[in-house]
């Protein structure tokens, strides 16, 4: 796990693969889009909070959730996610809430050019969420399944950004690089990728941005 100092205490981050992330803040366990195809969640730390970006099977995975959800666990979800027997905080794009001192803002995540067989976006605007977590001024941006969208041009002072890279659902290399160089996070985590050449991406990304892959800095 990589560690970072924040006003709320030590932040530790572990990227399991695909869009599945585990991180701890001040002793609390947070997960993003746990997905059992990339990691067995049996025996993982019980979740205090789980962020779900949208309802696709590789982001909202009941088989993963059953291993980490406890009676006290809160799931932060967009309205499109089925709500069954857990505790939920439902956020639409633009909504915010504060949990355990962390302010969570749901932000846009959608496709513009990438369309399915019905000529519809794989991820329509306003349906899924990205998330910005504000840890007392230290900001983490989880982009969700998205292309490079106008909202990204408004982002400032992002400490850590998770940006997706794969076709046809998110961004190709050139668009990923453009998004990273526009947002200019201090630290960049590529995620949601199948194949990735870290050296090639590193050559195109602003040298002031630290890129992390497989636990290593690039």
What residues does each domain of the chain span? 2-217
pLDDT at site 139: 99
| Cβ-count burial 79-93 (b if 16+ within 10 Å, e if not) | ebbeeeeeeeeebeb
CATH fourth-level superfamily of 2-217: Ribonuclease Z/Hydroxyacylglutathione hydrolase-like (3.60.15.10)
pLDDT at site 183: 99
CB 156 within 8 A of CB 180: no
pLDDT by 10-residue block (mean), the chain, 218 residues: 96 92 96 94 97 92 96 97 93 98 98 79 89 99 96 98 89 94 98 83 95 87
pLDDT at site 116: 77
**Rounded to an integer, what distance in angstroms lies between the CA atom of residue 61 and that of residue 18?**
13
- Whether the bond between 55 and the residue before it is cis, its omega within 30 degrees of 0, is no
State how far the alpha carbon of 135 is from the alpha carbons of 101, 104, 118, 158, in Å: 7, 9, 41, 11
pLDDT at site 118: 81
pLDDT at site 196: 78
Taking the alpha carbons of 119, 121, 125, 127 in that order, is the dihedral positive or negative? positive
pLDDT at site 161: 99
Indicate the pTM of the whole model.
0.94
């Amino acid at each position: 796990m990589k560690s970072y100092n924040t006003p709320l205490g030590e932040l530790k981050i572990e990227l399991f693969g695909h869009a599945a992330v585990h991180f701890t803040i001040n002793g609390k366990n947070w997960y993003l889009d746990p997905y059992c195809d990339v990691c067995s969640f049996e025996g993982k730390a019980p979740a205090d909070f789980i962020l779900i970006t949208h309802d696709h099977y590789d982001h909202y995975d009941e088989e993963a959730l059953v291993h980490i959800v406890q009676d006290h666990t809160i799931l932060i979800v967009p309205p499109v996610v089925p709500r069954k027997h857990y505790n939920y905080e439902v956020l639409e794009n633009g909504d915010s809430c504060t949990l355990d001192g962390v302010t969570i803002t749901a932000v846009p995540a959608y496709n513009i050019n990438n369309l399915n067989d019905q000529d519809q976006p794989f991820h329509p605007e306003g349906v899924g969420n990205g998330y910005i977590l504000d840890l007392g001024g230290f900001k983490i941006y989880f982009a969700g399944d998205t292309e490079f969208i106008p909202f990204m041009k408004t982002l400032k002072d992002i400490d850590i950004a998770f940006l997706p890279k794969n076709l046809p659902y998110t961004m190709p290399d050139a668009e990923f690089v453009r998004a990273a160089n526009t947002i200019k996070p201090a630290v960049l985590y590529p995620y949601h990728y199948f194949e990735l050449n870290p050296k090639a991406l590193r050559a195109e990304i602003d040298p002031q941005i630290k890129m992390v892959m497989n636990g290593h800095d690039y």
